[in-house]
Amino acid sequence: MTDPIRLGIAGLGTVGCGVVKIVQRHAAALALRAGRPVEIAAVSARARNKDRGLRLDAYAWEDDPVALARRSDIDVFVELMGGADGPARAATQAALAAGKDVVTANKALLALHGHTLALAAEENGQAIGFEAAVAGGIPVIKALTESLAANRITRVMGVMNGTCNYILTRMQGAGLPYEEVFREAAALGYLEADPALDVGGIDAGHKLALLAAIAFGTQVDFAAVELEGIERITIDDIRQAADMGFRIKLLGVAQMTGRGLEQRMSPCLVPASSPLGQLEDAMNMVVLEGDAAGQIVLRGAGAGEGPTASAVMADVMDIARGRRGPVFGQPAAALAQARPASSSVPAPYYLRMALLDKPGALARIATVLGEAGISIDRMRQYGHDDPAAPVLIVTHKTRRAALNEAIGAMAGTGVLASEPVAIRIEEV
C-alpha cells in the first residue's frame, strides 16, 4: 500500500468533527477503498480546549489556519470554517500557494471567489473539491461533472435550503403562521447566526450559482442571482396554494436562454404531486435536466454532521485515488462570463390581494391585468367578515416585468386593501 494521504482540518464545528469521526471509525475501510491510508495530521479551530467529545491529542494543533495550510506534513487542506473572506479565504489561498489540494464545504467562499481560486489551483495541477458545499450529502457536483458530462444541461432546479423547506412544510402540516414556525426553527438550531442567509435565500443562492457555473460552463456569478426569500409567505398563501393543488417551495432555477443565463432563487408554486411538491421537512432535492439523460432527481439531507462530512470525505477519497479534474468541470481559463438574462422565461403566476368591498372592484383589477397583456386562468374570492375581500388570481403565462407593471397600476385603482403578493408557478 502507498503512502498515506494526510489531512489538515481547519474548523472543528459540526462538520469538522463529523469528518474526524469518519476517519477514526472507518480507517480500515477508507484505506481499502482509497488504495492508501487516510490520516489526519493536524487540526485548527478557534477554541483549543473546548470539549468536542473527540480524541484530538494524536493530531498537531495550529491556532492559525494559515499556518495549518502551509504545514509540510499535510497533503490536503480541509477548510470547514465558513465565511466568504477572512481566515477561510486567506488559508485556502495559502494552501494553494503551498501546493496543497483543497476540500471545502464553503459555498459562500466559492460563490464569490471560486473562479479566482480555480485558476490558481489549475495552474499548478491542484484540486479543489466542494461536493459538501451544495446540498449536503447529495452527490450533485459529481452527477454534473461526471455522470452527466456527456449532456447539454437544459435546466437545474431544486430546493437547496433545508431550513426554508422545514418552515414551509411545517406551516403546511400544522397550520401555523410564518412567525411562529420561524421561532420554532430558531429554537431547534436550524437557522444561521444571521437568519437572512436562510430565509432570505442567500445561502441557497450561493449553491445555485455554483451549480449554474458547472452546468452551463460559465464563471460563477452570484451577483446575477435574483434573490427573494420566504418572509412574505403567509399561512393563507400556503392554504390557498394547497386548495389549487400546489405547494410553495423556495426554489432555485438556472437555465440558459436566448436572453442569457437565468438564475433565480425565489418562492414558487409547484404541483403537490411532483417530487418537489412532496419534499418534506429539512430535506433537499436537486433536479437536473439533460438532453440525453432527461430528468434526474436527487434527494437527500442537505445539511447536518453526517451527510456533509460524508460529502467532504467523498472529495478526499477522489484525491487519494488520484482522480482530479477542472474545479468546475471545464478548465477555469476557458469558462465564459455569462450574460445575465434580461428577463425570466414566461410562467403563470399566483396573485394574492385583498380588495375593498366596492362595486366593480374585481372588474377594475381584471382590466388592469388585461391592459398589461395578462390573461386570467382562474380567479377565486373567499368569504370574509372584514371590509376587505381576499382574492386569489392565477394568470396564464406572462413575463414578470409585465406583471410588475400591472401591480404598479393596481395601486391607482382605489380598490386595493393590501399590497398584492405574486408567486411564480414553476413547471416541473
Dig out the grid coordinates for 5 from the structure: 494521504
Closest alpha carbon to 152 in 293, 262, 259, 261: 293
Instruction: For residue 252, give the C-alpha cell.
Output: 432555485
Q: How far apart are CA 274 and CA 265, in angstroms?
A: 19
* Angstrom distance (rounded) from CA 70 to CA 91: 8
Give the distance from CA 44 to its chain's centroid.
Answer: 27
Rounded Cα–Cα distance for residues 195 and 59 (Å) = 34
Q: What is the DSSP string of 270-338?
A: EETTSTTTT--TTEEEEEEEETTTEEEEEEEE-SSHHHHHHHHHHHHHHHHTT----TTSS-GGG-B-P
Our answer to whether residue 207 is catalytic in this structure is yes
**Which residues touch 183 (CB under 8 Å, ≥6 apart)?**
none
290 forms beta bridges with 153, 294
* 242/270 Cα distance (integer angstroms): 10
- Kindly name the residue from 21, 50, 100, 207 that is annotated as catalytic: 207
Could you give the CA distance from residue 13 to residue 236 in angstroms, rounded to a whole number?
Answer: 38
Per-residue buried b or exposed e for 178-203, using 16+ beta carbons within 10 Å of the residue's own CB: beebbeebeeeebbeeebebbbbbbb
The residues that are catalytic are 207
